[in-house]
Structure 1
Amino acid sequence: MVDKHKVHQWLQETSFRELMLSVDFLITGYIFYHYISQLASASPEQLASIEWLSSLLLQIIIYSIVLMVVSYILLALISDDELSQPMDVREKQINLVGYKYAAIILQVGVVFAMVQYNIDAQGFTLMPQYVPHLPLHILLVAFLLAELAYYGVQLYKGRTGEIYE
């Protein structure tokens, strides 16, 4: 009974946009965990197989779409028409700060993927074990980390109010 009261109190104290960001952050974290765990448990034959990689990427895309749509629908049902309200100036600034960090992570990931692609094309190996399709994995990890940073920075900045720091 006490836990139910605490959850209800937390939901009352939390803004709808913060709740949406939290759900999106958790969903993206789950997708990132699923992707990394699939890569870690894959055999070398699976890592080299384009069919296995395609099915993994399809799983990631389907999970992303389904979980985001379901969470959006559930959040729309419990909101008091807050989805149709425009963001205020503070929320827009926090959103831009989140984009800034996400863009930095994506840019670094793209550069790393291009460098790795060139290393592969030249036939050099920097790692003791060759990982096929490594530039694609780098890009996907960079994308997922950028999404986590985007949501996480917005949650942090919205909670602390440190927008310009």
Structure 2
Amino acid sequence: MKLNILYIKYAEADMDNKQKLIQWLQETSFKELTLSVDFLVTGYIGYLYVSALVNATPEQLASITWLSTLLLQIIIYSIVLMVISYIVLGLISDNELYQPMDVREKQINLVGYKYSAIILQVGVILALVQYNIAAQGFEFMQSSVPHLPLHILVGAFLLAELAHYGVQLYKGRTGDIYG
């Protein structure tokens, strides 16, 4: 009897969640949905990269073969997930995926690129500084991470992509285009 009551309560909560999801999808523009999917895919790719680095042994971190394999996996995952997401989004859209952006969307996109460019520039500068520090023989950190400039560049790229999508989502939702 208790099991049936729990199942009914779970089913009701599940229906409420499904209804909330359906309502959110109906209220969300297709552009916002596309940006959300891109943001989530990029976040997942970043999670895969960081978790691989955190769980790696010092021998793996020092191995260029392991690092090359990791970067190839990240690139393949990125391509596959983006292609799948665009196919699914293309199937559920009414040709909205191929419509040109209006003036407001173009401005929001440019603001997203602005923040993305700033993060990439800072990442490249940090990677160059780290490379020069390592080339001079100084130990910047106690436990030196092999190939740190490369990790900084990949991290900057992933953060820039997240910022690009996140800023567009925020600006599109709030309507605060300038700034």
TM-score, normalised by the number of residues in structure 2: 0.91
Q: Deviations over 1:85-108 (max 9, x none)?
A: 110100000000000000000000
The residue that corresponds to 2:77 in the other structure is: 63
Of 11, 26, 48, which residue of structure 2 is paired with 1:12?
26
Of 131, 139, 156, which residue of structure 2 is paired with 1:142?
156
Deviation at 1:58, TM superposition (A): 0.6
Between the aligned residues of both structures, percent identity stands at: 78
The residue that corresponds to 2:43 in the other structure is: 29
Deviation at 1:154, TM superposition (A): 0.2
Deviation at 1:2, TM superposition (A): 2.0
RMSD, matched Cα: 0.6
The answer to whether the aligner puts 1:93 opposite 2:107 as a matched pair is: yes
Q: Deviations over 1:1-49 (max 9, x none)?
A: 2222211111111111100000000000011011111111111100000
The 4+ residue runs of structure 1 with deviation greater than 4 A are none
The residue that corresponds to 1:40 in the other structure is: 54
Q: Tell me how far apart the structure 2 counterparts of residues 150 and 97 of structure 1 sit (CA, whole Å).
A: 8
Of 142, 149, 154, which residue of structure 1 is paired with 2:168?
154
Q: Tell me how far apart the structure 2 counterparts of residues 86 and 150 of structure 1 sit (CA, whole Å).
A: 19
How many residues are matched?
Answer: 165
Q: Tell me how far apart the structure 1 counterparts of residues 163 and 97 of structure 2 sit (CA, whole Å).
A: 22
Structure 1: gaps of 5 or more residues: none
Deviation at 1:124, TM superposition (A): 0.6
Of 115, 131, 150, which residue of structure 2 is paired with 1:117?
131
TM-score, normalised by the number of residues in structure 1: 0.98
Question: Structure with the greater relative contact order (CA < 8 A, sep ≥ 6): 1 or 2?
Answer: 1
